[in-house]
Amino acid sequence: MRLDWSVVWQNAPALAEGTLLTIVLTVVTMAIAVPAGIVIAMMRFSGLRFLAGAAAAYVEFFRNLPLILVVYWAYYVMPVALDVQFTGFTTGLMALCLNVSAYNSETFRAGIGSIRKGQTEAALALGLSRWQAMREIVLPQAARRVLPVLASTWVSLFKDTSLVSVIAVGELAYTAMRIRSQTFRVLEMLTAMAAIYWALGYPQAKLVDWLHRRLGVTE
Amino acid sequence: MSAPLILLYRDVRKRFGDFEALAGVSMEVRRGQVMCLIGPSGSGKSTLLRCTNGLETLDGGEILVDGVRLARDERGLREMRRRMGMVFQNFELFPHKTVLANVALAPRIVLRMDEAAAHERARGLLDKVGLTDKAESYPANLSGGQQQRVAIARALAMEPEVMLFDEPTSALDPETIGEVLTVMKRLAEEGMTMIVVTHEMTFARRVADWVVVFERGLILEQGPPAQIFDAPKVERTREFLSHLGWEG
Amino acid sequence: MDIDLSPLVDSWQYLVDGLGVTLLLSALTVVCSLALGFAIGLARCYGPAWLRWSVVFYIDSMRSIPVLVVLVWTYFAFPILTGVTLPPFWAALVALTAHIAAYVAEIVRAGIGSVRPGQTRAALALGLSRAQTVREIILPQSVVRMLPAFGSILSIAIKDTAIAAVIAVPEYMKQSETVAGQSFRPFEVFTGAAIVYFLILFPITRLVDMVYVRLAHLGKS
């Protein structure tokens, strides 16, 4: 078994680009999926049955589908169904956003729901409107509980971006595997791929742990 | 004394599922009156209080505030709630805000007072309840009695016409009950209209103008404290009081 | 847009075979990862320092690396490193087990950690050995709290088996891909796949939610 690790250094620029795309996908998805998650959570709390039902259905739907299937479905079906041609990147982004928004909405729903009813009642008794009570009293307290979970979701998302490689989006996994096919240096490239994910993911996971400790729920 | 009516309850009914919490309660509250609602747990006294400021909706009957029916829409309710202050059994101070911010919150947001004016009003009220030096503390650092006094100040910040107390001392250690009752007594002496759901019989005997005894969603008996505590007209009242160890 | 369900009908046997592989792989993954994860979790809590450190490293590494990467590495790189070639199904089983066992280990750690320390002290004071304490006092209490989280492992396993399609495991996702490619009817085939996965996963997540609610009160010390 002859290993040639130089192939990794030779292709460092390409790998760096792939890594960058992974990070971009993660950041942009979260930027969309966090507000989307709040909106969907609010829909479930609204008294309107149609809105609440639609939101609940959306969440249940995406919680119960493998993300890779959503990626394929988006890629093959949307051009046909909507008669629009999206790039692989956009398609992958959409699939990720749909998926993560659902999980985020559950996070916000649980966070908001964990605030004692009495807090809202005290605010209402003082004459605040429901929205003012939410803004001043409930959401700030919920934020403490929501942040660690959002951080965990972020790390999961970071890993899940690898799935859009199956529709040829040039993030890290796709790039590494492409170089592998071209150079036939399988062990080196795949190990390098794992090592890069590890190097980026490990500190993020530790950060999440720290957040969980720091913002630990004290009743 | 026949001060004007501020609250009128007509045949108020409320059920939770199969449970009938209020089975037709009619009652009058006059301005300046200190009314104590007593009775066993589940007899409906807290429910009536919570219906008064719309935290619970009525299933039957009506509540009139100064002759006007209690609003059913959010906007109208908000208007009416401004005129009522409520103090909760477990204080419900906002833990993420300082004591001062807690008291100044409603004037700032609801009355749109500017921060300086709201803070001034808040400090004045904290003085009144004896907690001036706790203004910058967070609720978690206060004792139960102190938190409840802040809660009273917070409710007073809106300059309500009537104060609703929902078992204000039930969650307190015996040592701190006194400080809260003292504040409430002073409030009563200043002429505030108060409806107090309580188990503190001594307070009711000494401070209340009118005592209403509840049982199973209905008023068992009502009258001046002397009547209720010393010479109740209804046998069940006497039983209830002796149950609590009240030496008539 | 015309809908033609014939590819689904014609290839239904092929797809059902794929479904069988999905279910088999998921079941085996759950069993193996629960067993391995439990052992790792216990090592994490009660092992000697060197073992604990290694285990923590393993768990945190699995948290950092995507499932896809573990799958691909196990199937393509592992044979080069060790000379042992694993067929796709077994490579997937090894990879998924290794990945999910890390999560199971964390669940075990959290469950054991949620038991009041006073329980251990009381048991030791009564004269029980450490091993007996863990076996008789700690584990029974903690397992109850772990159950809801274990339930969600099944859901995760089924979703992760779909990723095994990239290493050509003939599970449902892969079979769907093939049929879609051959019939040029991706909409019908992938929508069908979505429905199938949903019908399998929805009852499971529902059940787990219910168990969470039921057992939530036990999670409080």
Domain extent listing, chain C: 6-219
pLDDT at B42: 85
Residue B142 has pLDDT above 90, yes or no: yes
Concatenating the DSSP letter of every residue in B96-130 gives TS-HHHHHHHHHHHTS---HHHHHHHHHHHHHHTT
Interface of C with A in 140-159 (CB under 8 A): 155, 158-159
Residue A162 has pLDDT above 90, yes or no: yes
pLDDT at C220: 47
Residue A217 has pLDDT above 70, yes or no: no
pLDDT at C221: 39
Residue B156 has pLDDT above 60, yes or no: yes
Which chain A residues have a beta carbon less than 8 Å from that of C68? 162-163, 165, 173
Of the pLDDT bands very low, low, confident and very high (cuts 50, 70, 90), residue B136 is very high
Residues 6+ apart with CB under 8 A from C126: none
C173 and A68 in contact (C-beta within 8 Å)?
A: yes
Which chain B residues have a beta carbon less than 8 Å from that of A122? 86, 88, 92-94, 151
A140 and chain C: CB distance < 8 Å anywhere?
A: no
For residue C150, the Cα-to-chain-centroid distance in whole angstroms is: 9
Which residue of A lies nearest to C220 if distances are taken between CA atoms? Answer: A219
pLDDT at C217: 62
C72 and chain A: CB distance < 8 Å anywhere?
A: yes
- Residue range A82-101: average pLDDT? 89
A122 and chain B: CB distance < 8 Å anywhere?
A: yes
Q: Which chains touch B (3 or more CB pairs under 8 A)?
A: A
Residue B1 has pLDDT above 70, yes or no: no
Report which secondary-structure segment, H or E, holds B181: helix B174-189
Quick: pLDDT tens for B51-75: 999 999 999 999 999 889 988 888 8
User: What length does chain B have?
Assistant: 248
Picking from A116, A125, A132, the nearest residue to B109 by CB comes out as A132
pLDDT at A146: 92
With CB atoms and an 8 Å threshold, state whether A202 touches C68.
no
Quick: pLDDT tens for A46-82: 778 899 999 999 999 999 999 999 999 998 887 777 7
Type of residue found at A132: Q
- Give the CA radius of gyration of chain A: 21
**pLDDT higher at A3 or B22:** B22
pLDDT in tens, chain C (221 residues): 577 888 788 888 888 999 999 999 999 999 999 999 999 999 998 889 999 999 999 999 999 999 999 999 999 999 998 889 999 999 999 999 999 999 999 999 988 888 888 888 888 888 888 888 888 888 888 888 888 788 889 999 999 999 999 999 999 999 999 998 888 888 888 989 999 999 999 999 888 888 777 776 654 43
When scoring A2, A7, A65, A169 by the number of chain C Cβ atoms within 10 A, the one with the most, hence best to mutate, is A65
Paired residues of B30 in beta bridges: B5
Picking from A64, A68, A80, the nearest residue to C165 by CB comes out as A68
pTM: 0.80
A140 and chain B: CB distance < 8 Å anywhere?
A: yes
Nearest 10 degrees: CA dihedral of C63, C68, C70, C74? 170
End-to-end CA separation in angstroms for chain C: 58
A76 and chain C: CB distance < 8 Å anywhere?
A: yes
Of the pLDDT bands very low, low, confident and very high (cuts 50, 70, 90), residue A219 is very low
Picking from A67, A191, A202, the nearest residue to C77 by CB comes out as A191
The Cα of C63 is separated from the nearest Cα of chain A by a number of Å equal to: 7
For residue B184, the Cα-to-chain-centroid distance in whole angstroms is: 10
**pLDDT higher at B50 or C148:** B50
Sheet strands side by side (includes B60-65): B19-30, B5-16, B60-65, B68-69
pLDDT at A134: 87
pLDDT at C218: 57
Structural domains of chain A ordered from first start: 6-215 (1.10.3720.10)
Give the Cβ contact number of residue B61 at 10 Å: 16
The Cα of A63 is separated from the nearest Cα of chain C by a number of Å equal to: 8
In percent, the amount of chain B with pLDDT more than 70 equals 98
Domain C6-219, CATH class in plain words: mainly alpha
Residue with tokens 């002759």: B67
With CB atoms and an 8 Å threshold, state whether A125 touches B81.
yes
A46 and chain B: CB distance < 8 Å anywhere?
A: no
For residue C97, what are its two tokens?
């087990």
Helix, strand and coil in chain A, % to nearest 5: 85, 0, 15
Rounded to whole angstroms, the Cα distance separating B9 from B14 reads: 13
With CB atoms and an 8 Å threshold, state whether B94 touches A125.
no
A90 and chain C: CB distance < 8 Å anywhere?
A: no
Rounded to whole angstroms, the Cα distance separating A118 from A47 reads: 19
Of the pLDDT bands very low, low, confident and very high (cuts 50, 70, 90), residue B34 is very high
Sheet strands side by side (includes B218-223): B84-87, B162-166, B193-197, B34-38, B210-215, B218-223
The Cα of A56 is separated from the nearest Cα of chain C by a number of Å equal to: 13
Which chain A residues have a beta carbon less than 8 Å from that of B54? 124
pLDDT at B232: 86
With CB atoms and an 8 Å threshold, state whether B55 touches A141.
no
Angle at B169 between CA B165 and CA B172, to 5 degrees: 145
Which chain C residues have a beta carbon less than 8 Å from that of A80? 1, 186-187
Q: Which chains touch C (3 or more CB pairs under 8 A)?
A: A
A82 and chain C: CB distance < 8 Å anywhere?
A: no
Give the Cβ contact number of residue C70 at 10 Å: 23
In percent, the amount of chain C with pLDDT more than 70 equals 97
Which chain A residues have a beta carbon less than 8 Å from that of B86? 122, 125
pLDDT at A62: 94
